[in-house]
Amino acid sequence: MHLIYRTSILLLIVFISFQPRVSADEGMWLPLYLKQLNEAKMKQLGLELTADDIYNINQSSLKDAIVQFGGGCTGEMISAEGLLLTNHHCGLGQIQQHSSVENDILQNGFWAYDKSQELVNPGLSVKFLVRMENVSERINALLQPEMTEKERNEVILAESKKIEKEATNDNHYEARVYPFFAGNEFYLILYEVFKDVRLVGTPAWGIGKFGADTDNWMWPRHKGDFCLFRVYTAPDGSPAEYAPENVPLQPKHHFPISLKGYQENDFTMILGYPGRTNRYLSSAGVEKLLKYSAPTIIQVRTAKLDIYRASMDADPDVFIQYASKQARTSNYWKYSIGQVKQLKRNKVIDRKLELEKRFEAWLQANPDKQETYGNALPLVLNGYRELFQYENASNYFMEAIARGSEILSFANLVTRQTQAKGTNNDQLRATITSHFKDFHAPTDQKVLAAMLLLYEENVPEAFHPDEFKKIARKAKGDYSKFAEKLFKKSAFASEEACLELLDKPEKYAKDDAYELFRAFVESYLEVKKLTDPVNESIQRGERLFLAGLREMEANRDFYPDANFTMRLTYGTIGGYEPADAVYYDSYTLIEGIMEKEIPGNWEFDVPENLKQAFETKDYGRYTNDKGELVVNFITNTDITGGNSGSPVLNGKGELIGCAFDGNWEAMSGDIAFEPELQRTIVVDSRFILFVIDKLAGAQNLINELTIIE
């Protein structure tokens, strides 16, 4: 489960199950309120700690071992020397950056047997949560019902900046005020950010990416999806940019790693940074996703992935250049395919309509609520349906143009940098050099041709830029010649040509690639002028709808939708029934890796040392009580994108695994939780230690861990 990207319209809403009480395994709970809302239920399931042991701002607690890794994943401290565990796919960008055909750590893995061998990663940072604070009362006191959404948002932004400034006035922390419950509540989150994070170890591709696209989002799974980094500080322990004299972080807490394993129905919990859920998306919102958003993503990314795959298979250099890009593109492509299938299979629109029907009935039974909440659903439902006519224009711009061919988006990036205050040639040179390290012009040229064709075929001509209309008339459905010509003329097609213009930055803005991108942007902005008022109406309706639901279900414990802030989810280990006459066990073994092996295949090739360990059964102390080497297991905890790399803990707060994915049958889960189907897929901590110890021979790393026998 990789990073889920932010969209222009984010719904910060909450899901409530249709049962009288929320089931124990559902919910992404704020650690601030665990004592009031969750502690008793968690103890019934097997928690041996207190809420204060998990979240405490006055003394060490579990939260102090959790980081937001790189802005889109989660990681955890597993030693007193700043060693950090996260997913292989979370660190894939850094692993790829350090790889070359001559030193291919993507394929072969990498291990630092001494801290001096650890690899520096410019731009990578981790955030520790310092504290959360509910500031809703202060902000809501400034808001009036008669305000427009634009006026309301301006007041919220201004007051949030004041609160953030006050919170960081006498310290080195970073602060942000987040809206929760569709903008009905607001919380200040304070972070400590560390910017020297070094790569320590990664397994070979055949372990860390085993199964790749085919197995992504699927169970049963057999993937060692983990890697190790180390966080460094200045000698005085404060955050600092990379420097040779920096020292390993001494975290306030790190997780001991359990070798005791687990049994069916054992308690588990996960602390992490889930990205985005839309658990109270309306029926019309789901309809929009099914008819427009997801089909666009699937179609556009299928075309890109086909081009990427052909180039990667043909050239080892391109494989390395595009490994991270392909993984990012593929992840959300397959997610969208699964989401569409499961939204239909799990009848989510019908469930949304039933909830909306109940809400209307509640309003009818409570006339005094009509004035406040009577317009909520009409604003939402009518607004979404009004957006339908603009969806292809908006979606194909974002997917096929803004995220399509790199030459267009890169032309925009560089040109905007030249126009920004304070930008110098050294910064621009670094931007250009970094980009071209992982850019293959022949591949991107094919992508550009494919993207322009998809835009022409799917976006109504009324929304086509005039410049594009001229190109389309000449192309007559084949943009390959146009793309070839553009790549020959544009300075953004090669590093040498791009660097030559550093002393003449005004020429960047006259480049054909930039002018084409700018034409598309101007057309998109015209569409945005039409959709912005509609989106404001939807935003108002969603806020009122959720406020009304919380009154309608006043005795229910609510949790806010995921929004990249720290949450806790808890549940139990166990298998599930994905279909009639089918049952999936709760864990997989190394035997499953060997059963899936396809020698030489980029997805299912197995490293020789793993095969040798299997043949000799040399698993060391990392087996379960049956002598089996467990690879992955599942738990019914409630996670989403952003939770990748999160620690999976037992009732004592010991690490038993690292979360890395969700399951196919519950791909509708970001919109409607599926209590019987939803599972978190986890790499077993014993398999992680087996790889580090028996395959990598990194005894130096094993020695610094706290291992519970």
What 3-state DSSP class applies to 291?
Answer: helix
Question: For residues 596 and 537, what is the distance between their CA atoms, to the nearest angstrom?
Answer: 51
Half-sphere CA count of 331, side-chain side, radius 13 A: 22
**Angle formed by the axes of helices 316-345 and 348-365, to 10°?**
50
Question: For residues 139 and 179, what is the distance between their CA atoms, to the nearest angstrom?
Answer: 10
Catalytic residue (one of 61, 79, 394, 644): 644
- Closest by CA to 257, choosing from 656, 635, 633, is 656
Catalytic residue (one of 2, 61, 79, 89): 89
8 tagged catalytic: no
- Closest by CA to 397, choosing from 535, 531, 524, is 524
Q: 622: which residues sit within 8 A by CB, 6+ positions away?
A: 259, 629, 686, 687, 689, 690, 693, 694
Triad 149, 154, 157: Cα angle to 5°: 120
3-class SS string, 416-477:
HHHHCCCCCHHHHHHHHHHHHHCCCHHHHHHHHHHHHHHHHHHCCHHHCCHHHHHHHHHHCC
User: Which DSSP state fits 235?
Assistant: T
644 tagged catalytic: yes
CB count in 10 Å sphere of residue 309 = 16
Beta bridge partners of 257: 655, 707
Question: For residues 27 and 559, what is the distance between their CA atoms, to the nearest angstrom?
Answer: 6
Q: Give me the residue label for tokens 């200045």.
A: 234
Question: For residues 630 and 685, what is the distance between their CA atoms, to the nearest angstrom?
Answer: 9
Find out whether 519 and 465 touch, Cβ atoms under 8 Å.
yes
Q: 166: which residues sit within 8 A by CB, 6+ positions away?
A: none
Rg (CA), the chain: 26
98 tagged catalytic: no
Residues with catalytic roles: 89, 225, 644
